[in-house]
Amino acid sequence: MSLIRTTLLVVDDEQRVLDVIQPYLEKEGFRIITAKTGKEALHQIKKSSPQLVILDWMLPEISGLEVCRKVRKQSDIPIIMLTARTDEADRVMGLELGADDYITKPFSLRELSARIRSVLRRANPATVKNEPLQRGELIIDEEKFQVWKNNQVINLTPAEFQILLTLARRPGVVYSRLQLMQATTNDTYIGYERSVDSHISHLRKKIETDPSNPKYILTVHGIGYRFGDVK
């Protein structure tokens, strides 16, 4: 199956930063290209036409601010500045040069993902959609209400899909049965939360290679369920 993904350019001269950001955003469904210098960033923008640029302030050869200035002379591509600078004057300078948003280091990856979606939505509200999530061999497309594993469509009931989507959005986070029921029905029915176990059982049979030894949907005894840390 071929999916058209939103392409993001991440520009940072620190490889360790790229090594953290790139896999996380790819799991969030984005296509990521990277650059380490301002000169390389300008080349990638011209060559790859990304839909958004995450741009570090301090770059070799050409600074992030200068890259932003040059890009704004010829393009309205959304730009999020990424920097360790915290002074208000610096933040204002970046925004005045045309940056759409500004994130200071250190930052959470969840916040970065949320900022990206917010900026994309403002830039093109008519076309921005929730990108498919990729978790291991699974691709979960909220817009199409479909799940694929190894390029094969997996047929899920609405309840199974909502449970899977809820868990997959936040791997590692533990959800109680009541929370999962609320995500599925938008309500909670005390005493009926055990029906979630039945949905989980059916879901595992459909998405797990070995349902008796699951890697996607894990049981947290006495609490509920969480999504596994799959690569």
Look at residue 179 and give its three-state secondary structure. Answer: helix
Q: Which two tokens stand for residue 94?
A: 């970046």
pLDDT at site 187:
44
Q: Which pLDDT band holds residue 189 (cuts at 50, 70, 90)?
A: very low
**Average of per-residue pLDDT values in the chain:** 85
pLDDT for res 186: 47
Identify the CATH assignment for 133-227 out of 2.115.10.20, 3.40.1190.20, 1.10.3210.10, 1.10.10.10: 1.10.10.10
- Residue 93: phi and psi, rounded to 5, are -60, -45
CB atoms near residue 223 (< 10 Å): 11
Domain-wise residue ranges, the chain: 7-123, 133-227
pLDDT value of position 85: 67
Is 60 exceeded by the pLDDT of residue 126? Answer: no
Residue 194 pLDDT exceeds 50: yes
Residue 197 — pLDDT band, cuts 50, 70, 90?
Answer: confident
Task: Mean pLDDT check: name the lowest of 75-79, 84-88, 133-137, 145-149.
Answer: 84-88
If one compares 183 and 219, the residue with the highest pLDDT of the two is 219
Q: Which of 37-46, 66-75, 140-149, 178-187 has the lowest mean pLDDT?
A: 178-187
Distance of alpha carbon 209 from alpha carbon 215, whole angstroms = 9
Sign of CA pseudo-dihedral 110, 57, 42, 92: positive
Fold classification of 7-123 (topology level): Rossmann fold (3.40.50)
CA distance 33 to 21: 11
Mean pLDDT, rounded, for 56-82:
89
The predicted-structure confidence for 79-107, as pLDDT tens digits, reads as follows 998 887 666 666 667 677 778 888 888 88
Lowest mean pLDDT across 25-29, 171-175, 209-213: 25-29
Per-residue model confidence (pLDDT) at position 158: 80
Q: In percent, how much of the chain has pLDDT > 70? A: 87
Q: What is the pLDDT of residues 6-16, one digit of tens each?
A: 899 999 999 99
Contacts of 81 (CB under 8 A, 6+ apart): 55, 56, 57, 64, 68, 94, 99, 101, 102, 103
How far apart are the C-alpha atoms of 169 and 4, rounded to whole Å?
20
Cα–Cα distance, 10 to 64 (Å, whole number): 12
Q: How far is the C-alpha of 226 from the C-alpha of 217, rounded, in Å? A: 6
Is the omega angle on the peptide bond into residue 106 within 30 degrees of 0, that is, cis? yes
Quote the strand ranges of 7-104, DSSP E.
7-11, 31-35, 52-56, 79-83, 101-104
